């Protein structure tokens, strides 16, 4: 999940939000101001309702951050690094640096989030009751109670046993703990997640068609997301398994044609790109090291008037962590966002580009792994 806005760091962890958070903030504010508060405390001004609804939405966002922060805190205690926390429309994602070392750690990390949401929900519901007993305006009491009840609902929903929900992680950990096979746990979690997502989407369609309830659209959205996310996790696991024990030198394109940063675009197109079998080209600087990447698709969109421009003016910059060594594990590329939609790594040795890895190369690795698995004879019992 890509961060659209960096909020800062919490305990050294980069925290940000995806643009979709703005959508959910507007929706929550509208629901609270237009429905929850008027029902609880009728006759107040619209301005007052919105003045309470806006901090309520922010409080809800903070509770999502606490949920993901709990995952991150337990992951750190179990020896895992945390790259970032990103909040988005349907919750949040704590990106861990690595995998849990054992089933117990997996269980603890997964359970920490829902447990935190339950605690927050209980505290807010208790706070709402205390506020009511002290004569606090009914609108403020309703805002606290709504936020508390929503946290409890999210905790319960997250405990549903299917990936990518926390309940799916817990299911994976339990199967892993019992069988000793993490892959079996992954299959159980992703399979259940896809079935559960399809059921929710189907229920949403039925609610929309037969009952005419627009709430069915939310069920459809959530169900679609679960199916998509569970399928994505299954694919990612297949890539992880295919990449196990493989080095980058084993799947890279050796000695690729490169574009020097200062070369005119028109000259590079005419002499290299127009005849090359590559669709991706690393861009190198004066020191011979990679500094960017350019694709055939991008070059084809360069207008003739810019033929004299330098290649690096139309290239995508290459972050330092996209330069790899030939003996680095191929698993380090799994989950990486491809640069320019294609490049996963520029392979460097002796201060020059000796290879590159693209999404096609990683996909080929997975397909070859599946073919080998299919051609391996089953053991005779």
Question: Hey, which residues are catalytic here?
Answer: 68
Cβ atoms of 162 and 189 within 8 Å: the answer is yes
Rounded Cα gap, residues 193 and 163, in angstroms: 5
Instruction: Measure Cα distances from 234 to 192, 241, 258, 331, 365 in Å.
Output: 11, 11, 34, 15, 16
- 85 burial (CB, 10 Å; 0-12 / 13-18 / 19+) is buried
The DSSP secondary-structure symbol of 149 reads: H
Rounded Cα gap, residues 161 and 319, in angstroms: 38
- 138 burial (CB, 10 Å; 0-12 / 13-18 / 19+) is middle
Query: Both tokens of residue 142?
Result: 């309703």
Largest CA distance in the chain: 80
Which string of DSSP letters, residue by residue, matches 86-145? Answer: EEETTEEEEEEES--SSHHHHHHHHHHHHHHHHHHHHHHHHHHHHHHHTT--HHHHHHHH
Q: Looking up tokens 């002499």, which residue turns up?
A: 271
Cβ atoms of 62 and 84 within 8 Å: the answer is no
Q: Looking up tokens 């040795």, which residue turns up?
A: 349
The DSSP secondary-structure symbol of 35 reads: I
Helix (H) or strand (E) holding 373: helix 359-375
Cβ atoms of 297 and 321 within 8 Å: the answer is no
Residue 71 marked in a binding site:
yes
Query: Both tokens of residue 217?
Result: 């659209």
**Residues in binding site for Zn(2+):** 67, 71, 166
**Residues in binding site:** 67, 71, 166
């Amino acid at each position: 999940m890509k961060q659209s806005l960096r909020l800062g760091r919490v305990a050294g962890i980069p925290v940000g939000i995806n643009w979709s958070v703005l959508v959910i903030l507007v929706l929550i504010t509208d629901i609270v101001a237009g429905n929850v508060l008027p029902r609880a405390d009728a006759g107040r001004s619209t301005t007052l309702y919105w003045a309470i609804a806006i901090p309520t939405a922010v409080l809800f966002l903070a509770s999502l951050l606490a949920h993901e922060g709990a995952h991150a805190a337990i992951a750190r205690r179990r020896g895992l690094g945390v790259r970032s926390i990103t909040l988005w429309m349907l919750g949040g994602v704590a990106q861990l640096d690595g995998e849990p070392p054992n089933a117990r750690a997996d269980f603890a990390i997964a359970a920490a989030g829902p447990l935190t949401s339950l605690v927050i929900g209980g505290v807010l519901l208790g706070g709402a009751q205390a506020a009511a007993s002290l004569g606090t305006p009914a609108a403020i009491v309703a805002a606290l109670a709504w936020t508390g009840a929503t946290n409890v609902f999210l905790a319960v929903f997250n405990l549903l046993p299917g990936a990518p929900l926390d309940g799916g992680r817990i299911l994976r950990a339990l199967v892993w703990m019992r069988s000793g096979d993490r892959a079996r746990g992954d299959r159980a979690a992703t399979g259940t997640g896809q079935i559960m997502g399809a059921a929710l989407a189907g229920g949403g369609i039925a609610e929309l068609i037969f009952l005419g309830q627009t709430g069915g659209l939310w069920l459809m959205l959530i169900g679609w997301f679960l199916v998509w996310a569970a399928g994505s996790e299954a694919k990612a696991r297949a890539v992880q398994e295919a990449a196990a024990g493989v080095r980058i030198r084993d799947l890279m394109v050796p000695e690729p044609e490169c574009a020097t940063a200062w070369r005119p675009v028109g000259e590079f197109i005419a002499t290299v790109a127009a005849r090359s079998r590559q669709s991706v080209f690393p861009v190198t600087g004066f020191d011979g090291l990679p500094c960017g990447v350019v694709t055939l698709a991008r070059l084809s969109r360069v207008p003739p008037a810019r033929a004299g421009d330098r290649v690096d003016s139309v290239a995508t910059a290459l972050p330092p962590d996209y330069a790899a060594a030939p003996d680095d594990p191929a698993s380090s590329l799994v989950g990486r966002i491809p640069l320019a939609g294609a490049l996963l790594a520029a392979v460097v040795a002796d201060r020059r580009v000796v290879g590159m890895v693209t999404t096609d190369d990683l996909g080929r690795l997975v397909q070859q792994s599946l073919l080998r698995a299919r051609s391996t004879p089953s053991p005779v019992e």
